[in-house]
Amino acid sequence: MTAAGPTTTPGPEPTADELRARTRRFLAAHPPAGTDRAAFLRARFDAGLAWVHYPQGLGGLGAPRSLQAVVDAELQAAGAPDNDPRRIGIGLGMAAPTILAYGTDEQKRRFLPPLWAGEEVWCQLFSEPGAGSDLAALGTRAVRDGDTWVVDGQKVWTSSAHTARWGILIARTDPGLPKHRGITYFLCDMTDPGVDVRPLRQITGEAEFNEVFLTGVRIPDSHRLGAVGQGWEVARTTLMNERVSIGGMRQPREGGMIGSVAATWRGRPELRTHHLHDRLLTLWVEAEVARLTAERLRQQLAAGQPGPEGSGMKLTFARLNQQISALEVELLGPEGLLYEDWTMRRPELVDFTGRDAGYRYLRAKGNSIEGGTSEVLLNIVAERVLGLPSEPRDDKDLPWKDLAR
């Protein structure tokens, strides 16, 4: 099973004016006020206005990625519903581009429409208790049984597993090969009776993460993504897109955590000191630089798949969030220690807004772990961006079954 091309032959790239006119015609045919939300989103996908840079027939028009903003502006002005992108971020930012790159035509047609419309939530089944930073050391096994694969193992730190319909899964299919070469990539049905999702309570008191136990889970070979043994290559596509979606998300000026601190600074003049003023200005400038750099990175994506630059953006995202949330707690003094909603909750998504400063401070600690630890990302930037020599690896060519664990 190898990557397949677009469903239809692409035509000439539309211009911004043509996209604007096309969107207005769509809105006239599907007025948001009188159209069911689910029907509107499905129709938007079919019209090629979901993600315009995707191929025709798969929610797009083969247009430059930058023109999505033209479509979004018209839809927003008309009060059109969106697909709740934060709730389905893993599907949009990680599963979809991987399915597009490696899926068959049948897989693309089956999974992309409900994924984009938010009808099916996705999760990522990659990390394991003994294979987090060294993901290629994973031990979850997939054994072929005719036209299906039987999967046994454990995954951990799985966001949204408790709400997900599907999971992107990598498992070891040949333990006799070196660790990077014996892995295969699957699309896992989270409703299979062998899938057991258990909450992991975090320092915030919430349980947005999960551990997932896989016992005799049967996956049809038609839900394999890419060739047998090609899983590491496919997974790298997912990981590169994940880091861009985390660190390179589109933000307005003073979006994200810096906006909360700036609002407190303006509204609470009694809290200000010269020392905190200097720190706030420095972080404000760094946040704005990061925002503009992320915008440039998104423009570069129009030329192809994301590269290692996304790792640098994700590094910056984690560092800034932790420094800004620490400043906010210090600015508020004793108030910064308040955390009123310390309860065992199972949120569908992470929400930094409308919460106490203490929550943001605690939750930001996870930013340097999720989506790739900062230590691993530093190595990626060093080797693939700066061209520095890679660290010595004495296990690269050893069969996985012979590795010390």
208, 242, 309, 328: the catalytic one is: 242
Distance (Å, whole) CA 246 – CA 93: 9
Query: How many angstroms separate the first and last alpha carbons of the chain?
Result: 32
Complete DSSP assignment for 262-322: HHHHHH-GGG--HHHHHHHHHHHHHHHHHHHHHHHHHHHGGGSS--THHHHHHHHHHHHHH
Beta pairing, strands 166-172 & 122-125? parallel
Q: Residue 184 and residue 66: Cα distance in Å, rounded?
A: 33
Task: Tell me the two tokens of residue 355.
Answer: 């919460």
Measured N-to-C along each axis, helices 257-267 and 309-332 cross at an angle, to the nearest 10 degrees, of 30
Active-site annotation holds for 242: yes
Cβ atoms 26, 44 nearer than 8 A: yes
In whole angstroms, give the CA distance from residue 212 to residue 191: 12
Q: Which amino acid is at 154?
A: Q
d(CA 225, CA 186): 5
- Pairwise CA distance, residues 284 & 19, whole Å: 35
Identify the CA nearest to 4 among candidates 96, 94, 95, 106: 106
Q: How far apart are CA 268 and CA 274, in angstroms?
A: 14
Q: State the Cα–Cα distance between residues 39 and 80, nearest whole angstrom.
A: 12
What is the number of other CB atoms lying within 10 angstroms of the CB of residue 147? 8
Core vs surface per residue 374-390: b (16+ CB within 10 A) or e = beebebbbbeeeeeeee
Identify whether the C-beta of residue 142 lies closer than 8 Å to the C-beta of residue 150.
yes
Question: Cα–Cα distance between 369 and 379 in angstroms, integer?
Answer: 14
At 357, the amino acid letter reads A
Structure tokens belonging to residue 315: 């590094």
What is the Cα–Cα distance from 157 to 127, expressed in whole angstroms? 7
What is the set of active-site residues? Answer: 242
